[in-house]
Structure 1
Amino acid sequence: MARRGTVRAGIAALALLPLALGACGGGSGGGTASGDPNTLRVLDYHNDEPNKTVWQGLLDDCGTEVGVSVERESVPGETLISKVLQQSSSRTLPDVLMLDNPDLQQIAATGALAPLGEYGASTEGYAQGVVDASTYEGELYGLQPVTNTIALFYNEEVFQAAGLQPPTTWDELKTTAQALTQGDQYGIAFSAMNSFEGTWQFLPFMWSNGGDERDIATPESEQALQLWVDLVSSGSASKSVVTWGQADVADQFKAGNAAMMVNGPWNFGSLAENPDLKYGIVPIPAPTAGGTVVSPFGGETWTVPRTGDEDKQAKAAEFVQCLNSDENMVAAAVGTNTVPTKPALTEQAVSQVPALASFAEQVPDLRSRTGELGEEWPDAATRIYTAVQNALVGGMSAADALRQAQDG
């Protein structure tokens, strides 16, 4: 899923540290704390269930396959980059580092990661957007086994009572949301907050209409933003969308305060807390009938830091490739409500978790947030959510909000 936009300063500071650890020599002079050639240190932020347990099992299995013991450290997501900073400074980087995929190119730009192509890693069969996100200046630095994205959740009982079908176009979305807005129930909920979560939720609307992050002051992006403005100004969506994160949106939908929501599969567990809630999931509506919906993909990529110990780096690369085996991709997807990054494997996951179907069908067209701008993506993401905020609560027209954000 989309992470909070709090890592930019940390990554900038990382670039100032001495990261050419490959010149430090091997063995105990490298970046590992123990120097034990038969132990790999792993750092990730999967500390919530079911992710914590599922990934522990996969890490242990790959440790056995590769012939190493695994020392795992899981930290809260918002502290991962600061942890990497500390470890880089003390030359104790882990042997295997998991990163949120939009962060990879900025970390790779510092020289902290080893190119996986040097160890024979292959991207055959992966969705192209996934490969793009893990590639920096033509070199592959990470492998991502599973992904997620967002779709449109709808309350089946509410729709049935109203005699409506889930919308497939923007016009249908507006009329359906208006028809289902009554009493304490809004037609739709989404996150338009001033953070990367707000940008993440807006991207399917902007991209599917031909908008582009290199220049957001275009008619295509304006039309997408106007759609959100219309939903809020008509009362079909709460004005509070500008402060809601995706977890808040899920809470509103779970409580029956919204007939539809834009959100992702990481909410399955939360929604299950209301046993009376019956919902369906469809792709986010396209601008016009038959249009292709282009959404961003989330999820984490696994990398090999430059620790100065070439033998352990090779072992770590083998370990990362194990995590990305077909079997482990499917196991991770089923266990964590995600989708394999190889489209050919999606049916295996969907057959076991049918609710993933609407997310899985988007995988071939999913787009990398860093695919065009690379390490400059955070600047564009900030411009996007700033424009959304200015249009929804700042009193600016969609066109003016986008132009000011682009020029600012």
Structure 2
Amino acid sequence: MSRLLRTPRLRRPAARPGALAALAAAGALTLAACGTGTGAGGSGGAPDTLTEIDYYDAAPQNTQLPQILDECAAQNGVKVKHQQVPRAQFMPKLLQQASARTLPDLALVDNPDLQQLAATGGLVSLSKAGLGTDGLYPSIVQAGQYEGQTYGIAPGVNGLALYYNTDLLTQAGIEPPTTWAELTTAAKKLTKGPRYGLAFSAVGTEEGTFQFEPFFWTAGASLKQLDSPQAVKALTLWKDLVDAGSASKSVVTWTQADVNDQFMAQNAAMMVNGPWQLPTLNADKKLHFGVVPIPIPDAGAKPVTPLGGEVWTVGHSNPAREAKAVAVVTCLLGKDESAKWSKDAGYIPSNQQAAAQLGAADPQLAAFVAEVGTARARTTELGTGYPKVSQALADAVQAALAGGTSPASALSQAQRAAKN
């Protein structure tokens, strides 16, 4: 029987990372001469309105963000003028504004893009502005740093875990897998007719790299050496799953939203995906599912997942505007506000106490909360060099899964591309 695929809905996941091609095209803007303009808000005394920009175009983020922003703005005696820009245009626009010193007062930026934006000199150092980070996960604080200074802070983050269809696993007599060996066995046993055992996104962008990194890092691989034995081991796992028919060859074209569609249609018994999918999944009352941490190579290891989500930044303008903007960010990072934002958006609070409370109250989020403590900021190893290496890694995954190249050869090519 042919494996019929459900046509994916045209929507974007909350934490869809990447748009690296757009960033590369815009990179030259960071070299432009920088003036001493007054920023988006103009000059003068204390403002009554701050400007804000983000790329959210899907519920619940786009509906909840303005409300929480307005609440924090009101507490600090200002209003916020909200602007939403399509994701592909977002970083090119910000980089151009940074070069001209006209950045908005507030911007919500995908965390791996933060260092590139901070390198322009257009952002306020939140460290020097006195913004405290006590109680936040250290890995989350690190994700917003550039050259030892904090330029962005996430109110909440997301990551990846393994979703499984409880009905299908029960019928097959399978427990949720915890190791790679168990994952391989379960995926093979659950593959039947038009249904694959496992679905993941191996699309050739940052989104595909984001999905591969939990396996890559948990194996002990480093982005500084893409062709290490540990990296080959991780890519071999994915290739073996596809070659065995336990995962579809179409994973090289599936986004995370497409993967979710396959899972909801029961074309996949398990999937790798993030907490932002939970509102959609829970809306289907006929779908019964559970969530566990990403399987590990061997018992005793800890999953190392990439931190997804966005950080709040403050653009340079004048002292009065900057102070108000920092005050609004401080409010957004508060325990209650962080918990509210995360619950609405399908994220994990950056505040450790709020995250623990959320994980205890919501079993569906417990796996994601458990992983935050060992999660890794994507720019930790390479800083502003991350985008180039990320694309090289995505290309290697594509070459191995779709191009017939061995994992070792694909990763060797990736390592050469990353060094050029």
With normalisation by structure 2, the TM-score equals 0.91
Q: CA deviation at 1:333?
A: 1.2
Provide the residue aligned with 1:310 in structure 2.
319
What is the distance in 1 between the residues matched to 2:354 and 2:284?
31
2:386 aligned with 1:386: no
- Sequence identity, in percent? 44
| Structure 2 portions without partners, runs of 5+ | 1-14
The one-character-per-residue Cα deviations of 1:284-310 (angstroms, maximum 9, x if unpaired) are 100011211100010110011112x12
Match of 1:16 among 31, 40, 52: 31
Q: CA deviation at 1:264?
A: 0.7
Structure 2 counterpart of 1:170, one-letter code: W
Determine if contact 2:103/2:122 at 8 Å carries over to the other structure: no
Residues 130-139 or 231-240, more deviating: 130-139
Alignment of structure 1 residues 5-404 onto 2, 5 Å:
5-21=20-36, 24=37, 29-32=38-41, 37-88=47-98, 91-307=101-317, 309-404=318-413
Residues 47-56 or 205-214, more deviating: 47-56
Structure 1 residues 269 and 245: CA distance shift in structure 2, 3 A = same
Structure 1 counterpart of 2:171, one-letter code: A
The one-character-per-residue Cα deviations of 1:359-398 (angstroms, maximum 9, x if unpaired) are 1111111100001100000111011111111111222111
Structure 1 residues 154 and 289: CA distance shift in structure 2, 3 A = same
Determine if contact 1:11/1:107 at 8 Å carries over to the other structure: no
Q: CA deviation at 1:18?
A: 3.6
Residues 227-236 or 49-58, more deviating: 49-58
Q: CA deviation at 1:50?
A: 1.2
Match of 2:414 among 383, 405, 408: 405
The one-character-per-residue Cα deviations of 1:96-150 (angstroms, maximum 9, x if unpaired) are 1111000000100111111111211122222222122211111110111100001
Determine if contact 2:35/2:100 at 8 Å carries over to the other structure: no
What is the distance in 2 between the residues matched to 1:216 and 1:109?
25
Structure 2 counterpart of 1:157, one-letter code: D
Aligned residues: 401
What is the distance in 2 between the residues matched to 1:83 and 1:332?
26
Structure 2 counterpart of 1:182, one-letter code: K
The one-character-per-residue Cα deviations of 1:256-308 (angstroms, maximum 9, x if unpaired) are 1011000111112332453311110001100011211100010110011112x
| Structure 1 portions without partners, runs of 5+ | none
With normalisation by structure 1, the TM-score equals 0.94
Structure 2 counterpart of 1:240, one-letter code: S
Q: CA deviation at 1:85?
A: 4.1
Structure 1 counterpart of 2:397, one-letter code: V
Q: CA deviation at 1:223?
A: 0.5
Determine if contact 1:334/1:353 at 8 Å carries over to the other structure: no
What is the distance in 2 between the residues matched to 1:88 and 1:10?
15
Root mean square deviation, CA, Å: 1.7
Q: CA deviation at 1:14?
A: 2.8
SS at match of 2:128: helix
Q: CA deviation at 1:351?
A: 4.5
Determine if contact 1:214/1:373 at 8 Å carries over to the other structure: yes
What is the distance in 2 between the residues matched to 1:11 and 1:203?
25
What is the distance in 2 between the residues matched to 1:253 and 1:134?
33
Residues 90-99 or 359-368, more deviating: 90-99
Residues 234-243 or 338-347, more deviating: 338-347
What is the distance in 1 between the residues matched to 2:78 and 2:279?
33
Structure 2 counterpart of 1:260, one-letter code: M
SS at match of 1:280: strand
The one-character-per-residue Cα deviations of 1:297-329 (angstroms, maximum 9, x if unpaired) are 10110011112x121112111111111111111
Residues 101-110 or 317-326, more deviating: 317-326
Structure 1 residues 115 and 91: CA distance shift in structure 2, 3 A = closer
Q: CA deviation at 1:3?
A: 3.1
Structure 2 counterpart of 1:244, one-letter code: W
